[in-house]
Structure 1
Amino acid sequence: MKKILIIGENSYIGISFRNWILKFNDEYEVESISVKTSAWKEVNFSKYDVVLYLSAIVHIKEKDEALYYKVNHQLAIQVAKKAKEAGIKHFIFMSTMSVYGLNKGTIDIDTDKLPTNHYGKSKLMAENDILDLESEKFLVSIVRPPMVYGKNCRGNYDKLSKLAKKTPFFIITSSYRSMIYIDNLSLYLKVLIDSQIGGIHHPQNSNYVNVSEMFKTIRLQNKKKTFLFNVNPKILGNLLKWSTFFSKVFGTLIYTKELSLSSLNTNQNKYIKKNEVNFCKSIYKSEKE
């Protein structure tokens, strides 16, 4: 039985992963702790096989920069060092697509990491320092998911879902996004844990997501009709510049399929594709469960 310690007991990914993985109740034992106080320092890490670090500062004002670096970088390093000293075999750090600093474009193996906000910068600093701790006895996995969505997920999916329930009108766009449904991310983490795979990972759904189709599918699951319309490219361009939400939703931003597939072997990738939740079902589960 694998014993997993989740750092960030109230995190969306942490709660979701624990609920998902426990359906394999004879294979895993999972516990979660908070690092909001210093009580975590008294926890005995030595009884665990895997530490999954999910604690993060994301949705706060950029001016509160010190908090980003305290939690996303400094605290992550402290926990990783404690895990290594306790003999933990596998440390998984949840990073972000934001380390690339892009709102649009295609990310491949040669794309530079140039984060533009404190969230991305603090996560990249943590990545580098945690990787420096790696040894033969301390395996490190860095996971950089794109936009995560699912039931009760905060962020841009929640905003899009709320908008879809209020209005039947939406813009037709030819842009695509790399996204990952929460259960698919949990599946990916299971593969990393089971196979003890280190390195840097870029998981995503098998298919890119068109935001217009996502809007339409959300409304369909809520039994609502949708009216899509074209917008003058200049007007859309101005919206992308004016609104962070619009730039994140309507600009194409993808991981190449090769980048996502390269960190696992053929059988592992086949296993994930066979067991992942497809797009339509993922929206149904996000809206109805």
Structure 2
Amino acid sequence: MKRILITGMNSYIGTSFKKYMDQFSDDYQIDVITLKDDTWKKKDFSSYDSIFHVAGIAHADVSHVNEETKQLYYQVNRDLAVDTATKYKQDLNGKKGQFIYMSSIIIYGEETNINKKRVITSETTPNPSNFYGDSKLQAEIGLNPLNTEKFHIAILRPPMIYGPGSKGNYQQLVKLANKLPIFPDIPNERSMLHIDKLCQFVKERVDQQDSGIFFPQNDKYVRTSHMVRDIAKANGKTIYLFSWMNWAIRLLGFTPGKIGRLTNKAFGNLVYEKKEVVRGKCQ
């Protein structure tokens, strides 16, 4: 039986993974721990085959925060991750173990464009556009030296994660789908990841006990308008897609300021190349 410890009590990803793994309860023992206080420092991690680290501060409105809040992002997303992995390695005392860290596509910056396809490959250099993305990247850099032949660091850089109960940008699409009768049918492409596919991917990492940098995503790219349409349908609503104003919406993508920013965020193109696994050290 493999033993897995999830760090991050009540997190969406951690809770979803634990629920997903219930179907394999004969072969896996899943424990969950909070890192919000210092009690975790007294816990012995040596009995776990893998630690799935999902504790962290999620993406917020990065334009309206003070310096103290920025430092909190680094303390939680970077320092806490490195400290947890370091303690795990020390507790193992030479035994094999695997630390799985949830990073994000955000480390490449938030740049998207309705008029240009942006493809991230294994050779793309991370370039965070804000402190949130940088805190994730700095965690990767801090974890990298801990990786050895016996202690494996697996870094996951997923795109937008969605599914029942998910938050963040996905909820913005849900609101649009529930309110709007029509929606522009812009043929854009986005890499996204359903929560069930992520859970399956994490299980595979545990089974393989491998290390490296991983780019999990859905088998197919997602068009924003199609996702909005499907969300509306799932909620018993009908939303009509139109394309006759696409030229005007594309022009909005060139508009400076908030309008252009929102247009590119909603209909921009941002994809990973069709490749899930990259082994090696973080850049």
Q: TM-score range by the shorter chain?
A: 0.7 to 0.9
Which amino acid counterpart does residue 212 of structure 1 have in structure 2? S
The alpha carbon displacement at 1:244 in A equals 5.5
Match of 1:252 in 2: 269
Which amino acid counterpart does residue 10 of structure 2 have in structure 1? N
Which amino acid counterpart does residue 54 of structure 1 have in structure 2? V
Match of 1:3 in 2: 3
- SS at 2:255 equivalent: helix
Q: Give yes or no for contact 2:252–2:259 (8 Å, CA) kept in 1.
A: no
Q: Give yes or no for contact 1:4–1:28 (8 Å, CA) kept in 2.
A: yes
Superposition map of 1:117-128 within 5 A: 117-128=130-141
1:224 aligns with 2:229: no
Match of 1:109 in 2: 122
Match of 1:33 in 2: 33
Q: Give yes or no for contact 1:240–1:246 (8 Å, CA) kept in 2.
A: no
Q: Provide the C-alpha distance between the structure 2 equivalents of 1:225 and 1:164, rounded to a whole number of angstroms.
A: 9
Match of 1:214 in 2: 227
Count of residues in correspondence between the two structures: 262
Q: Percent identity?
A: 40
The alpha carbon displacement at 1:223 in A equals 2.5
Q: 1:90 aligns with which of 85, 94, 98?
A: 98
Q: Give yes or no for contact 1:101–1:114 (8 Å, CA) kept in 2.
A: yes
Deviations 1:125-178 (A, max 9, x none): 110111111112211100000000011101111110122011111111111100
1:74 aligns with 2:91: no
TM-score by length of 2: 0.88
TM-score by length of 1: 0.86
Match of 1:145 in 2: 158
Over 3 Å counting, the alpha-carbon distance change for 1:81 and 1:98 in structure 2 is same
Q: Give yes or no for contact 2:215–2:278 (8 Å, CA) kept in 1.
A: no
Q: Provide the C-alpha distance between the structure 1 equivalents of 2:262 and 2:40, rounded to a whole number of angstroms.
A: 36
Match of 2:14 in 1: 14
Q: Cα RMSD (Å) of the superposition?
A: 1.7
- SS at 1:78 equivalent: helix
Deviations 1:215-261 (A, max 9, x none): 11111222322222234021344398537654333100000003x25
Q: Provide the C-alpha distance between the structure 1 equivalents of 2:201 and 2:8, rounded to a whole number of angstroms.
A: 19
Which amino acid counterpart does residue 86 of structure 1 have in structure 2? D
Q: Provide the C-alpha distance between the structure 2 equivalents of 1:10 and 1:240, rounded to a whole number of angstroms.
A: 37
Over 3 Å counting, the alpha-carbon distance change for 1:48 and 1:262 in structure 2 is closer
Unaligned runs of 5+ in 1: 264-289
